[in-house]
Amino acid sequence: MTNQVYGPASDKQRMFLESKADIIVYGGGAGCGKSHCALLKALGQINDPNFRAVFIRQTRTQLTQSGGLFDEAKQMYKPFKPKFHEQKLSATFPSGSVIGFAGLDRPEDRYNFDGGQYSLVVFDEAQHQQEVSVLYLMSRLRSKAQMSSQLVMTCNPLYNSFLRNWVEWHLDPETGIPIPERDGVIRFFTNDGGKPIFAVTKEEMFKKVPHIKEEHILTFTFVSANIFDNPIGMQKNPKYLAFLLGLKRIEKMRLLEGSWYAKEEAAGYFKGDWLEIVPTRPTDHIMKRVRAWDISGSIPSESNPNPDWTAGVLMSRDKYGRYYIEDLERFRDRAHGVLEKIIQTAIHDGPTTDIVIPADPGAAGKAYAQSIVKELAERGFYARIYQASQSKVLRFQPFAAVAEAKHVSMVRGPWNDELVDELEAFDGSRKVKDD
């Protein structure tokens, strides 16, 4: 394939441009020409009068600023004589095909696309979007165009992005850098009630989601690329590589090497390397074992796609003064489901484990906590109510100090990463989850 404006495409760019997968994630490093290639992918369909595409960034300013996506589109598309509409941010080509540009920042903004029908939806810099917005826009992929509808996401690596989970299979488990042999490999995807499910084969998908219909299984691929996969870009701007080489270590790992596991050292109250990982739950010399809960009674919804979690951490202390984080239960459910899960967890932990139930301020919060304690007591478990009188920062600091002094171990489990991520991110603000 040839870039009709700027010259021949590289192997990675060609792999992306020619992919017929239903969902394509493209990128992995700065300077790889990902936005340019996405614009070029749309350009290949402009002779189809039924073709409709939309390019999405977080804000209109990002689209219209000098060098932004709409600005670049005007330069690239000009030889093909479209009519540009500056207010609507669209380009209408002589055939009648239309390529539009739109902002989508908050999850509720996704409803601005209701009624839209697109052949191609492109999220540019998708690592900054919310997963719920991406999944919703997939419902807009329906048109009469000749091409099969596609969702494209261009991105740079970002550890805390939902996209890391989408491309995990393609990454080296130690470095988080894409495995070259897995570039462009077709996997399978379905959206099961708002939860993305991935599989290497259709057979695996049917095992994971037995009720799924074959027509609801989509193809998915990830094509990684970095600045070295954009020789034309390097030729046009040879100093850009020097800029990337001069970045701080973490940013260089992300933007030059393409590592999805690179993240800034914790700037809050906690560092994950303070915890010693032990293979199994301790059984000897344990003096006390406690499961403390932080309760929420919400599930994801259209109005609140990312509610708080109900979380219960099991900790113990031995006679030598060492603490162990033994287990984490973390889920979202309504009040009745929360109560049932707390009871089930208590049965699993056993009657020798104390249970701490928080009481929110106000009569309703105290009454709810008392009802949980009563239910547990009737089943033979000791539970007590805790009503916080200090901020979470003040309550967290003693634990952080003991962990920093290397007196806390954590039992190895699949929940380790999400717990450490939340502990490291906690800074006392409302910007991060602190369940």
What's the farthest any 2 CA atoms get from each other in the chain?
Answer: 80
What residue spans of 157-306 are helical by DSSP H?
163-167, 202-208, 231-236, 239-245, 249-255
Specify the pLDDT at position 275.
92
- Helices 11-18/34-43 angle, 10° precision: 40
Looking at residue 171, what DSSP letter applies? Answer: B
From residue 194, alpha-carbon distances to 138, 143, 190, 329 in Å are 11, 23, 9, 21
Whole-number Å distance between alpha carbons of 60 and 264: 29
Whole-number Å distance between alpha carbons of 240 and 320: 56
Specify the pLDDT at position 5.
40
What residue spans of 209-292 are helical by DSSP H?
231-236, 239-245, 249-255
**φ/ψ of residue 220, rounded to 5:** -140, 145
Q: Which residues of 102-116 are buried (b: 16+ CB within 10 A; e: fewer)?
A: bbbeebeebeebeeb
Going 394 to 395 to 398 to 399, the CA torsion angle's sign is negative
Residues of the chain with pLDDT under 50: 1-7
CA atoms within 13 A on the CB side of 342: 34
Map out the domains of the chain with their CATH numbers: 2-255 (3.40.50.300), 272-425 (3.30.420.280)
Q: Cα torsion for 41, 39, 234, 155, to the nearest 10°?
A: -90
- Helices 34-43/69-77 angle, 10° precision: 50
Whole-number Å distance between alpha carbons of 25 and 162: 12
Specify the pLDDT at position 8.
57
Q: Which residue has the tokens 């996997």?
A: 187
Specify the pLDDT at position 431.
55
CB of 80 closer than 8 Å to CB of 127: no
CB of 248 closer than 8 Å to CB of 164: no
Give 393-396's long-range contacts (Cβ < 8 A, gap of 24+). Answer: 393/269, 393/428, 396/269, 396/270, 396/426
From residue 237, alpha-carbon distances to 31, 32, 62 in Å are 10, 12, 21
Specify the pLDDT at position 6.
40
Whole-number Å distance between alpha carbons of 407 and 429: 27
Sequence length of the chain is 435
